[in-house]
Amino acid sequence: MPNVWTIFKRELSGYFSTPIAYVFLVIFVVLSGVFTFYVGSYFERDQADLRSFFQFHPWLYLFLIPALAMRLWAEERRSGTLELLLTLPITMTQAVLGKFLAAWAFSAIALLLTLPLWLTTNYLGNPDNGVIMASYAGSLLMAGAFLAIGACMSALTRNQVIAFVITAAVCLGFVLSGYPLVLEFVGAFAPEFVVEAVGSFSFLSHFTEVSKGVIDVRDLVFFVSLMAYWLFANAGVIELKKAE
Amino acid sequence: MVEIEHLCKNFGSLKAVDEVSFGVDRGEVLGFLGPNGAGKSTTMRMITGFLAPDAGRVRVCGDDIATNPLQVKRRIGYLPEGAPLYGDMTPRAFLRFIAEIRGYRGKERELAVDSVVEKVNLQPALEKPIDTLSKGFKRRVGLAQAIIHDPEVLVLDEPTDGLDPNQKHEVRTLIKGMAKEKAIILSTHILEEVDAVCTRAVIISAGRIVSDSTPAELLARSRFHNAVSISIRANTVDGMAEAFRALPAVDSVEVLEAKDGCVRLQLFPAGDAAIAAAVSELARERNWALEELHLERGRLDDVFRDITSGESAQSRG
């Protein structure tokens, strides 16, 4: 556990020692503002809630989270530090967890920076703060799932751009899998239970459930097990492709 | 301290490492030599636990790396090829990170960092991002992270590669200074280095060990071992070569150069005979003005080429 903490610290401070951190945070806050007020019609809706803020998170994450995850392993591979890291007395699990948690903590920081929006809403009206809290939790969980996918994809390549593109593509699949477009396409050739299975992998539907204020165990299990799965795959990919 | 038995590693159809076995004890500096692509780095990566061997065993102080990797990794200090480092960190932050992973906390950690910084003379670069440092400083940071926990076994993959002569000298002095209480394995393709720091030289070619001996034994295998090169002030070389060849201990004579009133000859001894005394005596008898007499210890690059070129040509095609 101390090793996870050491790796976590190094990784997180790594974000802040380059402009990536600040660019990311600024873009995240600005874009979520734009989505909330312009696209989501925060004022016009005349409702004291943050639905117009949260409903765009899956789309925001779709291209911002891959940017956060792409350097996790690809950079280690490119610079050769992977060899340094994996010959230190740490286990693969510690390395994978430390890095993932650092990226996740960073996305939590980004979310924290949107708190003024919550305060504003409380100033303007009487929102259901329970719902908002649940939405924040759901958003963070979803970010974690995106990040776990990104970490695994980043382990596949030494090229950060490739890692970004593949991650975005895979994440898009997970976001869209609840959409009629995808479901009808799958339904055209696959039996009903496959369609349901594909639909149940949708980030969108799970996130929408959570952001209604109901934290269902199933949604929790969904996101947590998805993270566990992708991190497990992440460790496997590193183990397999170390020599390259 | 380090025992390597029948190590094999294949990459696809390429046998990168093929039945490599050797042992290193405390106080030994083992020079691991071979042409590029011979399998030096792959072997070192298996010793340090980065790659898993396809067959064979690595044990460090009795612990098998396959069954007890953390214990082995704790005992090893490793400088990977090219000394990769986290470029956006400063050397201080980086060394703190390594020290923490190595189990140093709080005050102990600062002490470990300070003492290693002093050992490798890193003070002037301590607070600048590693990316901005010169090659020499970067290599020192790499060495520092390898020795910060005072490991019993040190594995260095081309520690002096790409450094200028002064920096090379510094690194070698550092390695020699630590040699007594550690088992050190270092790979290189610079042969003078073997002579300068190693107590033993293992030559590997196309994945197989082709020679395991001391640097002196390697030198003795050279055609030039105990050969004498001389310069004589004379306008003509007539008769000289014949006269030297007539000496019983001299096997053959080569005329290297004859111009500007100066003749240079290379004399090869028969067997292991020492011929310098006989040669200078003959020159005095004949009243040849001897300008220079130089006894060769042998040429490692010759031996190296002899040992590795035949082998690699056979199996690599």
Is the confidence at residue B314, as pLDDT, over 50?
A: no
Give the tens place of pLDDT for each residue, B218-277. Answer: 888 888 888 888 888 887 777 788 888 888 888 888 888 887 788 888 888 887 778 888
Q: Is the pLDDT score of B312 beyond 70? A: no
| Secondary structure E strands in chain B | 2-11, 14-24, 29-33, 55-60, 63-64, 76-79, 153-157, 183-188, 200-205, 208-213, 228-233, 250-259, 262-269, 289-295
- What is the band of B75 on the pLDDT scale with cuts at 50, 70, 90? very high
- Model confidence over B93-150: pLDDT tens digits? 999 999 999 999 999 999 999 999 998 889 999 999 999 999 889 999 999 999 999 9
DSSP-derived secondary structure letter, B46: H
Q: How far is A61 from chain B (nearest CA, A)?
A: 26
Residue B209: strand, helix, or coil: strand
Please name the residue of chain B whose CA is at the shortest distance from the CA of residue A18.
B88
pLDDT digits (tens, 9 = 90+) for A108-124: 999 999 998 888 888 88
Q: pLDDT tens digit string along A64-103?
A: 999 999 999 999 999 999 999 999 999 999 999 999 999 9
The predicted pLDDT at position A131 comes to: 86
* B81 neighbourhood in chain A, CB within 8 Å: 80
**What is the least distance, in Å, from the CA of B21 to any CA of chain A?**
21
Domain map of chain A by residue range?
A: 2-240
Q: Please state which of the four CATH numbers 3.40.50.300, 3.40.50.920, 2.60.120.260, 3.40.50.1220 is assigned to the domain occupying B2-220.
A: 3.40.50.300
Comparing A16-20, A213-217, A226-230, B82-86, the range with the smallest average pLDDT is A213-217
**Kind plus residue range of the DSSP H or E element containing B97:** helix B91-101
What distance in Å separates the CA atoms of residue A109 and residue A141, rounded to the nearest whole number? 14
Residue B67, CA distances (Å) to B49, B58, B60, B62 in order: 11, 10, 12, 11
**Of all residues in chain A, what percent carry a pLDDT higher than 70?**
99
From the CA of B200, how many Å to the nearest CA of chain A?
Answer: 25
- State residue B310's pLDDT score: 63
Query: What are the residue ranges spanned by the domains of chain B?
Result: 2-220, 228-295
pLDDT at B301: 79
Tokens of A223: 């996101």
| Mean pLDDT for chain B overall | 88
List the single best residue of A73, A77, A88 to mutate versus B (max B Cβ within 10 A). Answer: A88
Answer yes or no: are the C-beta atoms of B133 and B96 closer than 8 Å.
Answer: no
- Closest by CA to A203, choosing from A184, A185, A187, A227, is A227
CB A235 within 8 A of CB A92: yes
Q: Where do we find the tokens 């165990």?
A: A217
Q: Give B80's contacts in chain A (Cβ within 8 Å).
A: 80, 83-84, 87
- When mean pLDDT is compared over A174-188, B189-203, B228-242, the highest value belongs to B189-203
Cα-Cα-Cα-Cα dihedral sign, residues B119, B125, B131, B137: negative
Q: What is the pLDDT of residue A38?
A: 81
| Architecture of the domain defined by B228-295 | 2-Layer Sandwich (3.30)
Confidence of residue B315 (pLDDT cuts 50, 70, 90): very low
Q: Residue A65 and residue A150: Cα distance in Å, rounded?
A: 8
Do residues A25 and A49 make contact, with C-beta atoms less than 8 angstroms apart?
Answer: no
Chain A residues whose CB is inside 8 A of the B93 CB are 13
Phi/psi of residue A5, nearest 5 degrees: -65, -40
In this structure, what DSSP letter does residue B81 have? T
Residues from chain A that touch B11, judged by Cβ atoms under 8 A, are 243
